[in-house]
């Protein structure tokens, strides 16, 4: 295994955090820190029956790669895995996974959070709500907090 390894996947299938973590850490003794973030679909008090994620094929992957490349430049990260799903996702199911590994915890934490912050505002994905009351017309609004979160890295 090389000393730096970046994986970016955009897929409709679910993923297994334990499998992805093992791919980054198995057989290695130089990694001291693994920071992981997973984003789940919320049911919003049972008002939602599902989220439908639309994406821009090609650009979704390349935007995430731009973010991971920047993270690898900024911090001494050994491995970085980003998986983002599209399609219909039910409450409680996984939407996104970021894993960053490093010798020390600061690089792992910073790397994972940086990727999430930029992915939120730069990667071309859009969430549509399927509501329990039958209304399937509402698209989730972008959050001002997400723009602010990105700004803290500048």
Partner 1 sequence: MAGVDTKLVYFSWVRERVGKGEERIILPEEISTVMELLLWLKQRDESFAAALEFPEIIRVALDQEHAEHTDKIGTPREIAIFPPMTGG
Euclidean distance between CA atoms 117 and 147, whole angstroms: 8
Q: How many CA atoms lie within 13 A of 151 on its CB side?
A: 5
Euclidean distance between CA atoms 56 and 145, whole angstroms: 23
Q: Which partner in a second copy, partner 1, none is near 103 (CB below 5 to 8 A by kind)? A: a second copy
CB of 32 to partner 1, least distance (A): 10
Euclidean distance between CA atoms 55 and 82, whole angstroms: 15
Q: Which partner in partner 1, a second copy, none is near 151 (CB below 5 to 8 A by kind)? A: none
Q: Which partner in a second copy, partner 1, none is near 15 (CB below 5 to 8 A by kind)? A: none
Contacting positions for a second copy (CB under 8 A): 17-18, 21, 25, 27-43, 45-46, 91-92, 103-106, 108-109, 112-113, 116, 145, 149
């Amino acid at each position: 295994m090389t000393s730096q390894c970046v994986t970016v996947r955009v897929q409709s299938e679910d993923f297994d955090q334990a499998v992805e973590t093992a791919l980054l850490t198995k057989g290695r003794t130089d990694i001291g820190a693994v920071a992981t973030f997973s984003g789940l679909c919320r049911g919003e008090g049972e008002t939602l029956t599902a989220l439908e994620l639309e994406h821009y094929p090609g650009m979704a992957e390349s935007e995430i790669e731009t973010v991971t490349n920047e993270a690898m430049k900024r911090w001494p990260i050994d491995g970085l895995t980003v998986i983002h799903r599209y399609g219909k996702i039910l409450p409680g199911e996984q939407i996104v996974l970021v894993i960053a590994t490093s010798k020390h915890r600061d690089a792992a934490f910073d790397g994972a959070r940086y990727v999430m912050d930029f992915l939120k505002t730069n990667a071309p994905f859009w969430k549509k709500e399927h509501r329990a009351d039958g209304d399937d017309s509402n698209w989730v609004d972008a959050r001002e907090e997400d723009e602010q979160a990105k700004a803290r890295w500048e």
